[in-house]
Structure 1
């Protein structure tokens, strides 16, 4: 496992197999003392995981994307860049900081880009959750800002299997993002492995036809310990195969059932990428704040570490 800048370079290259852990910052309403306590607990949980980096999410209200009631209520969270800078300074490895760019004024993004340590920080810019949502900065504007202010900042993009399943062109969208400077991809939560492998295959061979190298794809995995979590995965737009949904609904222990399946999925995806010659990694997260599911995600990360080269 590399340190510091080396890991930033690894994620933006075809070298090695990376392991990340995804975190959601504390609620916006917490005090500085409470945020510091949460950070301390988080860093303690990370000890011994042998992670290559963290992913810090930027949470936005996506009610405009899905009119159904959100299973877990939307609560505004701290700016992940602020949480990282002010409360995770003891973390010595890199972080991928998401930016829901529509939430921020261009000046705010420009100031952050000017000050961020690009040897330790990467970013993923996320656009609006729907075409009609009012935004302060459009995704293309944010990308142009990065190009002007901090072109050396490694920039990732989101890849979505479900969009590929419905439209069939996600691999082409990935190539277009790559041509605009994307150096790695992080997927939405993956449960439909077969569709994800089809997306990877189309992306890999489309790159080969164009004579370009495919970028690293980091697969996001998340455990599911309750029917409420399963409903939230559906609300987020994650496709869970019907057979697996049935297994989770009827299992006396859905958390262990989903953990075991995530490990099977990780092994399947890792083997497929190795055979294909595709650079890859894993990002483990919990969409639930239940301690049992958070602990299970930590266990999942430990288990995946053992299978990576």
Structure 2
């Protein structure tokens, strides 16, 4: 079953692994893809989520130097061929005018055989971009008969009125959302609750939310996540930093607690917002830790999907 069909079936579990395109020093695309294939053989996933990495000036100085990476659609096509799992590519849509962006998407869809897309906006509303907004791009994709794309978007639980943004993006064609990396359960629970309420008011079924998690193994990782805008409560950060040798293990336990809290809230309150998992590695040296996190969170989540009767 294609990821497009899985995402639209609330009872169907959806587990995604997010991986950065390789840097020049990581070797050839083929060798890198082969290594990824070996790692992923340890677990089952439904799709590979590939972000587009761009320099961002509005956030201030980047804690970790950005490096030239392979193009997401090229890496995605290769992974589909080598690993045999569908790719979801992220695309920042604001950097060129709409017509050029549509041409790029048509080429991505037909030539690179990519059928799943996450539309990403600009880093700041105060910057004037030459290209379309996320909603303008989604609307154009929906109306373009040359395109056969499953479209998704990004969700930032800590952002004010985020549930309204989800509704608007859904109305323009977004079928799912990946959240920002979660290190706090309170804001994702609050956002899901508001989103459910707004969907009820509009008599529409909520789109699937892929809950994002990532291990941290150093203070550098924590600082980078915070630079990306991830909300890490001070008490959680303090707990992570208590013992640098056990930071990865602690991050695993924290994410397990967040997932359990969220799933329990959904079940207790009969919230029918479909959820899924998106696990990422952040740094290449966290690959193995992220696979272990993927395995453990996936086990908890799949058990929940089997037992729940809310959908």
Q: TM-score range by the shorter chain?
A: 0.7 to 0.9
Tell me, yes or no, if the aligned pair for 2:177 and 2:208 is still in contact at 8 Å: yes
Q: Give the alignment partner of residue 279 of structure 2, picking from 276, 284, 301.
A: 284
Instruction: Spell out, residue by residue over 1:161-201, the C-alpha distance to the aligned partner (whole angstroms, 9 max, x if none).
Output: 121xxx2x110111011111111111011112111100000
Give, in whole Å, the separation in 2 of the partners of 1:90 and 1:37: 10
Q: Secondary structure of the residue that 1:157 maps to in structure 2?
A: strand
Name the CA distance, whole Å, in 2 between partners of 1:115 and 1:143: 20
Deviations 1:15-45 (A, max 9, x none): 3121111000012x469x6221111101110
Q: Cα distance, 1:132 vs. partner?
A: 4.9
Structure 1 regions of 5+ residues with no counterpart? Answer: none
2:60 pairs with 1:73? no
Paired position in structure 2 for 1:43: 37
Residue in 2 that maps onto 1:128: 122
Moved over 6 A (4+): none
Note if contact 2:256-2:297 (Cα within 8 Å) is conserved in structure 1.
yes
**What is the 5 A alignment of 1:10-29?**
10-27=6-23, 29=24
Matched with 1:160 is 156
Gaps of 5+ in 2: 306-311
State the 1:93 CA deviation: 2.5
- Note the 1:213-252 alignment, pairs <5 A: 213-252=205-244
Report the CA distance between 1:299 and its aligned residue. Answer: 0.2
- Residue 301 of structure 1 is aligned with which of 287, 294, 301? 294
> How far, CA to CA, are the matches of 1:87 and 1:113 in structure 2?
15
Q: CA deviation at 1:135?
A: 4.4
CA RMSD of aligned residues (A): 2.1
Structure 2 residue corresponding to 1:52, chosen from 46, 55, 66: 46
Q: Which has the higher contact order (CA 8 A, sep 6+)?
A: 1
Alpha-carbon separation, structure 1, partners of 2:56 and 2:201? 36
TM-score (norm 1): 0.88
Q: How many residues align?
A: 293
Contact 2:16–2:46 (CA under 8 A) maintained in structure 1: yes
Measure, in 2, the Cα distance between the counterparts of 1:156 and 1:20: 13
The answer to whether the Cα contact below 8 Å between 1:158 and 1:188 also exists between their aligned partners in 2 is yes
Q: How far apart are 1:87 and its partner, in Å?
A: 4.9
Query: What's the TM-score once normalised by structure 2's chain length?
Result: 0.87
